Chains A and B, each alone.
Chain A
């Protein structure tokens, strides 16, 4: 009989076409909002988290605490792989360099990468980088530019921190050639310089040896606009490579020691070890060195970002859920009106033998079908609007390479939920209908 109740319910929906469509529209809008907001939000989340995965989730970043002058404290250490060859030789990491005279007593401490590596055996790789803003000029143009000064090991072992450091032309910086520079894509284009040409940075001439490919767009736009938190800003600044130039770490430290704006040490830890325990060991080692640096793992940053975006998604989904709730209330109103209008029909059904549960089922199927229709249409429109929304958002942020993520559980769940919500919306009116006295129902006008 269920099939026949469904047929009857479907006929009823069709018989009050306009009202049914308006009711379905209420559900459609709610479902569409949920699908769109969650899909676009998840797409953004995936794009941002992809950056962390590119860097590696086994990386710990050491960033200076307030009052800590990074370039001086990090000194001329170039970092390196902590295999036997590098760990066994101080030259690989350089000698500890004391802080400058103008630093506070706490800040006078020395950062010794080699000692850190010895104190924390789970460190496998280490690299350093500092950032400065310096003048730049050619024969025709002059201005200021962000100068990133990565150690060779950072370029080789942590390219993800530099947006992949993908060369479009030329070659990378090489040890033993201090006066070389690699240009970001926009800098090279804006200044009109090519491989082999000479440019002046901070009053020193450098030979252009390489030009980077344009950075992935989401790396610059999404991360920059949506993500914040300890360590994330540094990471964002480093991965925005298009408008930067790259000079070897040692050379920069020698030339512009007092002009560093920020610096960072990247550490890769051994696979399988506890990140939390390793960070505790690093903290302990840094305390023993008297260095004021703050370690944070990319995993923690990723978790932080995920948590932040998760909260944003939850808020947006909650707003969408409210619109779905409004749709449910609209459906409840429609169903209650339908029960009032169809009281005599209920009386007829009861007089010819319909049981209370069959009348209940008829109205539940009626509202469930409308909910299902709203869910399916809302899903279809939601998918369409997600693509349109992503495109518009991308254009607004200058990003074209991220797309909405349609989670299978969301697609199936939202359709099932709309059927259930539709049926629930009709539950009270249906119960009311099932309890009607058949004689009174038959006498109703």
Chain B
């Protein structure tokens, strides 16, 4: 479904060039729950941003079902994010002035759906993550686990092909983290392709495909004792 060929991403930090991702090749099939794992600073988040069209590679190609993402304009990338990609972030990233259901319906409204259709879909998405009773609550009135479930509901609202989660359990306790991971894993059986970035090896057991990173390069395996484990 998505393939990365020779992808490189470099930044300038002062006069020094930082290579966040180097010569990265990857193929991910539709419906496979993929976990990208690596220590802090290994380039996991950068890779996710590249796959999610939030950023463009310095070199290489990223193909999403035949579309070269690097060749898209800013608006085309936004359109693609809106219709085919859902994001879940570690920091939940809700808009504070909006209620849970308003946050969830926002991607649909941005892609031009009617308010009524968006509201119905948002309600269903929140019920799917067991938040049907909290739809009118503001982000400040929800727990971390609830906020992350709202974020997952928002990511699912447009039935995306890809659901990209960047450290989705980073701010959650172990039990809630496992619930959220299971929720993301289950998406794989519903037509989506969840890709989760984490540095917690505890979640590797859920992966249909495990991708390991170190210093921006893909490696075959990681010494998990050196990874930070969330307890």
Contacts and interface: CB of A to CB of B under 8 A. Distances in A.
Interface stretch (B27-35, B74-82, B188-196): B74-82
B159 interface: no
B55 A355 contact: no
B100 to A, nearest CB: 14
A351 B98 CA distance: 17
B93 A354 contact: no
B84 to A, nearest CB: 9
A4 to B, nearest CB: 5
A353 B83 contact: yes
Contacts of A358: 110
A352 B154 contact: yes
B41 to A, nearest CB: 14
Between A3, A8, A353, A356, the greatest number of chain B beta carbons within 10 A of the residue's beta carbon is seen for: A353
A11 B112 contact: no
A12 interface: yes
Interface stretch (A35-43, A249-257, A275-283, A342-350): A342-350
B111 interface: yes
Contacts of A345: 95-96
A357 B112 CA distance: 13
A354 B96 contact: no
Given A344-B93, A352-B81, A355-B75, A438 B54 contact: yes
B81 A353 contact: yes
Interface string A1-28: 1011000100110110000000000000
Contacts, number: 74
A357 B78 CA distance: 11
A439 interface: yes
A442 interface: yes
Residue among B78, B89, B106 with the highest chain A CB neighbour number at 10 A: B78
Interface string B82-100: 1100110100011111100
A348 B81 CA distance: 12
Interface string B31-59: 00000000000000000010010110000
Contacts of B106: 4, 349, 352
A293 B54 CA distance: 85
Nearest to B87: A351
Given A1-B109, A347-B93, A355-B79, 19 more contacts: A1-B112, A4-B109, A8-B95, A8-B97, A11-B97, A344-B93, A349-B95, A349-B110, A350-B54, A351-B54, A352-B106, A352-B154, A353-B79, A353-B111, A354-B82, A355-B75, A355-B110, A439-B55, A442-B93
5 contacts: A1-B110, A8-B95, A8-B97, A344-B93, A353-B111
